[in-house]
Amino acid sequence: MRDHLRRDRFGLTAQRNASYIASVGAYMAIHRCRSVWLNALLGGLCCWIGAVALARAGEVQMKKVRVAIPGYTIAVLSQLAAKANGYYTAEGLDVELIAMRAPTANLAVLSGNVEFSAVPLAGLTTALRGAPLKLLFCQFDKPQHSLYARPEIADVRGLRGKKVAVAGVGTIDDMLLREALVAQRVDPARDLTILAMGAADTRFSALVSGAIDASVLIAPMSFYAQDQGFRELAAFQELGYVLPSGGIVARDETLRVDSPAAEKFVRATLMGFLYMRDNRAGTLKIMSPMLKIDESTAAKLYDSSRPTLTQDGTVSGDAEKKMTAMVM
């Protein structure tokens, strides 16, 4: 069965290790990002410069590209930087970032309603079940999430009998919560109530109002929870979890039928990634209005997320194995 998947569904070769996890790593095409897309970036700089001149002269016919994103958050900072700095325009792309919940984003890219999604975890999970998707780029490979609870709850075991909120079933925070619970011998199905409540700001408001006892949060909501005296029960980045967040997922058909546009989109996004990775001051100017946060919060968010970035949009073989183990 595994050999069949490796050979027929993923189109892999014998050059990769025979193990299933290693074959999934090859399938993810992240190692190809390093050799293909980075080379494409360098090789395309001259073309990009020429495209800028043409775009300014109004001679480029723009191609519409729709991208499903999980909201205007730190997870799509590469795309926001690319858009703000004109990298997409320089490639002749009119990129529309469409906010939607992760499961919806995944369905949108699968159905062809959008060309790409920026929700790699949902895409990876679906692809491992046989869907014709590829993960081309990964912005973060470590979770930025924390578990916050009412101050009287001392630890994860204290969540027994409590109500804990996550964004949705199968989302990153849901997976992380369940891992943390199991590690402390708390049964997620029997010992507490897990509620799917959508966006982090909604969950934070529910925590403040007392409607729930705890929630998995991500910055800047985790900053606000700390400021208001809620107790941090787990910081998942420090616990060694590895999960993809922010990236590019595409259908096999898109890569086959319109590979030039896919290459342009990945190249421009990667340029946005490199810009935000290396230019803190310039990135903060993008973050504040785009994410609708003040400059001091933007600086705190940037600095806290910086260690969770991948080096160049790819992930290591060890990280591939850990990601696969988490979602299988």
pTM of the model: 0.76
For 191-211, how does the pLDDT look when each residue is reduced to its tens digit (9 = 90+)?
999 999 988 889 999 999 999
**Residue 25 near residue 19, CB atoms below 8 Å:** no
**Residue 214 near residue 150, CB atoms below 8 Å:** yes
Orientation angle between helical segments 38-56 and 259-278, nearest 10 degrees: 100
Q: What mean pLDDT is reported for the chain?
A: 83
Residue 107 has pLDDT above 70, yes or no: yes
- Of 11-25, 45-59, 145-159, 161-175, which gets the smallest average pLDDT? 11-25
Nearest by Cα to 89 from 227, 271, 240: 271
Orientation angle between helical segments 172-183 and 317-327, nearest 10 degrees: 80
Tally DSSP H helices, then E strands, for the chain.
16, 10
Q: One-letter amino acid identity for 147? A: L
Selected residue with higher pLDDT from 122 and 161: 161
pLDDT at 52: 53
Give the Cα-Cα-Cα angle 173, 268, 295 (nearest 5 degrees): 55
How is the beta sheet containing 116-117 ordered, strand by strand?
93-99, 63-69, 116-117, 245-251, 133-140
The stretch 152-170 carries a mean pLDDT of: 94
pLDDT at 8: 35
Residue 4 has pLDDT above 50, yes or no: no
CA–CA separation, 94 vs 72, rounded Å?
18
Selected residue with higher pLDDT from 255 and 3: 255
CA–CA separation, 162 vs 155, rounded Å?
12
CA–CA separation, 73 vs 182, rounded Å?
29
Sketch out the chain's domains with CATH numbers.
Answer: 2-142+242-327 (3.40.190.10), 146-239 (3.40.190.10)
Q: Give 44's pLDDT tier (boundaries 50, 70, 90).
A: low
**Residue 119 near residue 243, CB atoms below 8 Å:** no
pLDDT at 51: 52
Express the helix, strand and coil content of the chain in percent, nearest 5 each.
55, 15, 30
Pick from 31-40, 54-63, 215-224 the range whose average pLDDT is largest: 215-224
CA–CA separation, 245 vs 234, rounded Å?
18
The stretch 44-61 carries a mean pLDDT of: 52
For 71-92, how does the pLDDT look when each residue is reduced to its tens digit (9 = 90+)?
888 999 999 999 999 999 999 9
How is the beta sheet containing 231-235 ordered, strand by strand?
193-196, 163-166, 214-217, 146-149, 231-235
CA–CA separation, 125 vs 244, rounded Å?
11
CA–CA separation, 99 vs 76, rounded Å?
10
